[in-house]
Amino acid sequence: MARILLVEDELELARLVRAALEQAGHTVLTAYDGPRGLAAARSERPDLVVLDLMLPGMDGLDILRALRRETLTPVLVLTARGGEIDRVLGLELGADDYVVKPFSLRELVARVRALLRRVEAMAAASRVEDHQEPIAFPDLVIDPATREVRSLGRAAQLTAREFALLWFLAAHPGRVFSREYLLERVWGTETYVGERTVDACIARIRKKLGGPGSPADRLVACWGVGYRFERREGDP
């Protein structure tokens, strides 16, 4: 069971959500405004954040953006606005899932459970990374042992850096990573390179994978944030 941070300013709703999550066996920390929510996310390192988008003090989208720069913590967004733009923006900014208000507590608990399972699967994928097992999608195979990439069956020759970036994104399909984060993970912190470096590297990988219409399309730029590797039907 997980430690969950709930950031929600509506007291009654927060109380109900908290009770439902606790009944499902989770430990719940609650923050009632944006700045406290962000501070708690930083200091408490929860396993998952349930984040309301309309908050006093700091907009939920700003919190989401800040969290995405700093952590891999999964975020489930609650939105009352319900507009398509909010949902899309929330997902582009790196929310892992969203629920539109009003929602049933049962649905919320189920979504939290599903998200935690996905995170667990991701952690398992990272362990595979240690064992140097290939990642195989129907259209793309990435093998760290031989550093071979096959895009639609064709071998693609990637540099070590390009390989590392593709590997990292593909090992976490569906997750959005900021350029800053990718720089730190793939380039390391010792050398300063600008964020454009990531864009340039992505462009080279895309070209080598076959350009538009090829598995290159899985490398998706997320406006204002960074990149994600697109999850598709039929993926393992």
Residues near Ca ion (CB under 5 A): 9, 52, 54
Long-range contacts of 159-166 (CB under 8 A, 24+ apart): 159/204, 161/186, 161/187, 161/201, 162/201, 162/204, 162/205, 162/208, 165/198, 165/201, 165/202, 165/205, 166/142, 166/205, 166/219
Helix, strand, coil shares of the chain, percent, nearest 5, are 45, 20, 35
Among all chains, which residue has been given the structure tokens 């195979």?
Answer: 141
Nearest residue (CB) to Ca ion, 57 versus 134: 57
CA 199 to chain centre: 18
Q: How far is the CB of 40 from Ca ion (least distance, A)?
A: 16
Q: Smallest gap, in angstroms, from Cβ of residue 135 to Ca ion?
A: 39
DSSP 217: G
How far, in Å, are 104, 139, 141, 145 from residue 153 at the CA level? 45, 7, 8, 18
Q: Considering beta carbons, is residue 54 or 122 the nearer one to Ca ion?
A: 54
Closest distance between Ca ion and the C-beta of residue 54, in Å?
A: 4
* Residue 80 Cβ vs Ca ion, minimum distance, rounded to whole Å: 6
Q: Can you tell me the distance from the alpha carbon of 227 to that of 11, in angstroms, rounded to the nearest whole number? A: 35
**Residue whose tokens read 């550093």:** 147
Nearer to Ca ion, 77 or 119 (CB): 77
Given the complex with Ca ion, which of 54 and 220 has the nearer CB atom? 54
Chain residue whose CB lies nearest Ca ion: 54
Whose Cβ is closer to Ca ion: residue 105's or residue 136's? Answer: 105
Q: How far is the CB of 25 from Ca ion (least distance, A)?
A: 26
| Nearer Cβ to Ca ion (51/149) | 51
Kindly state the smallest distance separating residue 56's Cβ from Ca ion, in Å: 8
Neighbour tally for 188: CB within 10 Å? 9
What's the rounded Cα separation, in Å, for the pair 75 and 168? 20
Q: Closest separation between CB of residue 162 and Ca ion, Å? A: 43
3-state secondary structure of 6: strand
> Residue 9 or residue 148: which is nearer to Ca ion going by CB?
9
